Structure 1
Amino acid sequence: MPDGKHHMIQAAFALGIDGGGTKTTAALLDGQGNERGRGSGGPCNIATGDPDDLREAVRSAVLQAFHSAELPPGARIASVCAGVAGYTARKRRAEFERILHETISAERRLVTPDFVIAHWGASEGGPGVTISAGTGAVAYGTNSAGEACRADGRGWLLGDCGSAFSIGRAALRAAIQRSDAGLPATSLDRRLFAAISAEDADDLIEWVYRGFQPARIAALAEVVLACAEESDAVPLLSGAAESLAHTAWSCYVRLNLGSEDPIYRTGGLLLSSERMQRLFEAALQRQAGAEGKPAPRVMPPRGDPARGAALLALNRLGA
């Protein structure tokens, strides 16, 4: 994208990139934090994505953002921050940093985990904790002293407690255990069978291990939520909410935050389901009450991760 024709820096512009597993979003802010442009592109998981696909995803999102801000395609900006899924893959991260350098002309660059920009978007840089619950689950927070804390987000095998994946897995396990015990299928079991065109527990097992993908199992959380009022679904959802509350509260306590500092809920599980929102808030009240402390406010995010990345660029790198 840099072409040498637009070498003058465009004053006070910071670019944020949310490199998600399903799409890439770019947001361009001026020095006062006002959004001037936005664009989107394809998936951007640096741990699994093809470098050419990553480059095209970033290029497409940035070009759209520049176009909507009426900037020329090769404009040089002050700073760019990209938050990406798969951040811990060090070699792939270095490769992605080269892609940023080749694709965006900027004075300063930063690559950071996706949960960091989710928090910056949710809190707009203020103190508090952001709990993100979708396919996975992670909490990240900051306090007024500049300290940061992260909890969970360790993947489906070692963590992601309370995530959509954990709910889907728990529902599958319960259905198989009832089958093994010779118990009749529940309404939830029958809905699971229908969702994946299975006739019995053996079909469930075949479906799980044939082309295993965590996202497929996470999608079954929607089936559980649809049965939210039924007896066998209630403990699955309540257990997930308790896990999410524990994850968020652990960050909150470690950061020594006060009742005026909120917990922001993000991710599909906590944004799209009112049932999960209520269960999460109730679980959080129990966590706080058990320690004799008032429960923090739970709030929706103030902004999205792309805006968070741009705000982080302004804060850390300047514009």
Structure 2
Amino acid sequence: MSYIIGIDGGGTKTLALLADLEGNIISTCITGPSNPNTVSSRALSHTFETIFSQFKEEAPEAFSKLIGIFAGIAGAGSSMIQTQLYQLLDALSPSACRVTVQPDAINALYSGTLGKPGVVQISGTGSLTFGINENQQQSRIGGWGYLLGDEGSGYDIGKKGIAAALHYLDGKINKTMLLKMLYDYFHVDTGRDLIDQIYHNADPKRSIASVCRLVFQAYQSGDKAASIIIDDAAWEIARNIHLLHKRLFSVGEQINVVVCGGVFQNSIFPTLIKQELNKIVSGITVITPKLPPVCGSVIGAYLSEDMNISTDSMNRLQNFQSNK
């Protein structure tokens, strides 16, 4: 029996699974961050060393029979960073073990398409539209960070919600319930105090992104300002998906779009995106992930070994998810 490792690396934590080729999970590891853009080389090495030492200790025979490692890592968008990560992982791997490094968006994609081509729309604090076609061509739209883009992200929606509340305070727009909601949320009584709470926060980006939830609440209560913000966010995401579909797929080609991230915890948002997509493109089905992203990395490892993934193997991965 041969074995693989799937790794889902992020800015706060890294998850890894040691699995056989039939979808059985042998060992699980949760350790520190592995985004090379936000952690030092030393910390990055420590994260990977922790994974390999744990698997080697818990399942020495399986570890000695590793044939493939698939690492989907946040921040691994450039060939230079992918090479850096490859060298770290290859040095820790048994000989003759294939190492593949890709952006973490692939893990999210495969967690929904189960290894098939398609598009993933990630909307959390940030936003990214990423896709792969039948020829394994990859492309992306967005993901330029909160200073320059990230339309449809939690940060984008939260920032616009705060701005709308302040515009109401200044008399620029009609009344919006967002102002009172923000006062209550931040425990303040004035616009000046609200701004101080945000600017003096230890992590203002995440503080602003957390306001996204309030904007959705106001939207569902019929608030006009919130409605404009949410409708615009749905349109921006639908446009990105449409543009990526044109870039990677033929006209009318049927694909799945996986939507994941904190913004989609509000069930109304996928519906709004579907409505916008129906106005501009055909052949797209919006779905939610069937597996956690780390299981998507296991699927990536299987595909890197040119395996045909059986229904039984996929069911075992899904059973692992249901037991977590």
- Return the letter of the residue paired with 1:28: L
Q: Pick closer, same or farther for the CA change 1:200–1:267 going to 2, 3 Å.
A: same
- 2: CA distance, partners of 1:200 / 1:188: 13
Structure 1 CA distance, aligned partners of 2:77 and 2:188?
37
Alignment match of 2:240 (pick from 216, 234, 247):
247
Question: Which of 132, 139, 148 lines up with 2:129 in the alignment?
Answer: 139
> Which letter does structure 2 place at the counterpart of 1:242?
W
TM-score, structure 1 normalization: 0.82
Tell me, yes or no, if the aligned pair for 2:55 and 2:63 is still in contact at 8 Å: no
The partner residue of 2:286 within 298, 303, 306 is 298
Q: Does 1:154 align with 2:147?
A: no
In 1: Cα distance, 2:67 partner to 2:191 partner = 57
Structure 1 pair 61–239 and aligned structure 2 pair: CA distance change class (3 A): farther
Cα distance, 1:33 vs. partner?
Answer: 4.4
CA distance in 2, matches of 1:266, 1:213: 23
| Aligned mate of 2:304, from 288, 292, 316 | 316
Task: Give the whole-Å Cα distance in 1 for the aligned partners of 2:249 and 2:141.
Answer: 15
Q: Give the aligned partner of residue 234 of structure 1.
A: 227
Residue-pair matches, total: 302
Quick check: 1:285–1:295 contact (8 Å CA) kept in 2?
A: no
Counterpart secondary structure, 2:120? strand
Q: Once the two structures are superposed, what CA deviation does each residue of 1:94-131 show, in whole Å capped at 9, x if it has no partner?
A: 55445434544462222221112222332222122111
Aligned-pair distance for 1:88? 4.5
Ranges in structure 2 where 5+ consecutive residues have no aligned partner: 308-324
Range that drifts further, 238-247 or 226-235: 226-235
**Percent of paired sites with the same residue:** 26
SS at match of 1:227: helix
Which amino acid in structure 1 is aligned with residue 205 of structure 2? P
Q: Return the letter of the residue paired with 1:126.
A: K
2:113 counterpart letter in structure 1 = S
Give the Cα separation in 1 of the matches to 2:129 and 2:238. Answer: 10
What are the superposed Cα offsets for residues 131-169 of structure 1, whole Å, 9 maximum, x if unpaired?
111111111122223332211111112221101111011
Shift in Å at residue 170 of structure 1? 0.5
The CA distance in 1 between the partners of 2:116 and 2:160, in whole Å, is 35
Aligned residue for 1:82, secondary structure, equals strand
1:302 to partner: Cα distance: 3.1
1:171-195 deviation per Cα after TM superposition (whole angstroms, max 9, x unaligned): 1111122222277863221112222
Tell me if structure 1 keeps the 8 A contact 2:11–2:38. no
- Alignment correspondent of 1:223: 214
**Residue identity matched to 2:17:** A
Matched, 1:256 2:249: yes
Taking a change above 3 Å as real, the CA distance of residues 191 and 26 of structure 1, as seen in their structure-2 partners, is: same
| Contact 2:64 2:94 (C-alpha < 8 Å) held by counterparts | yes
Inter-partner Cα distance in structure 1 for 2:156 and 2:119: 22
CA shift digits 1:47-96 (9 cap, x unpaired) = 1124444344444455666677x446964511212122222577766554
Tell me if structure 1 keeps the 8 A contact 2:70–2:300. Answer: yes
Letter of the 2:217 partner, please give it.
A
Relative to structure 1, the CA distance from residue 13 to residue 234 in structure 2 (aligned partners, 3 Å threshold; closer, same or farther) is same
How high is the TM-score relative to the length of structure 2?
A: 0.81
- Determine the structure 2 residue equivalent to 1:79: 68
Residue segments in structure 1 that go unaligned for 5+ positions in a row = 1-10, 289-293
CA distance in 2, matches of 1:109, 1:206: 48
The 8 Å contact of residues 39 and 63 in structure 1, kept in 2 or not, is answered as: no
| 2: CA distance, partners of 1:219 / 1:129 | 26
Contact 1:245 1:283 in 2 (8 A): yes
Counterparts in 2 of 1:76 and 1:195: CA distance versus 1, 3 Å: farther
Q: Secondary structure at the match of 2:220?
A: coil
Aligned residue identity for 2:74: A
Letter in 2 for 1:83: G
Q: Which moved more, 1:139-148 or 1:236-245?
A: 139-148
Report deviation, 1:204.
Answer: 3.1
Contact in 1 for aligned 2:162/2:178 (Cα 8 Å) = no
Question: Secondary structure, in 3 states, of the residue corresponding to 2:304?
Answer: helix
How far apart, CA to CA, are the structure 1 residues paired with 2:211 and 2:78? 28
Deviates more, 1:80-89 or 1:101-110: 101-110
Q: Cα gap change, 1:299/1:88 in structure 2, threshold over 3 Å: closer, same or farther?
A: closer
Query: Retained in 2: the 8 A contact 1:259–1:297?
Result: no
One of 254, 260, 263 as aligned partner of 1:266: 260
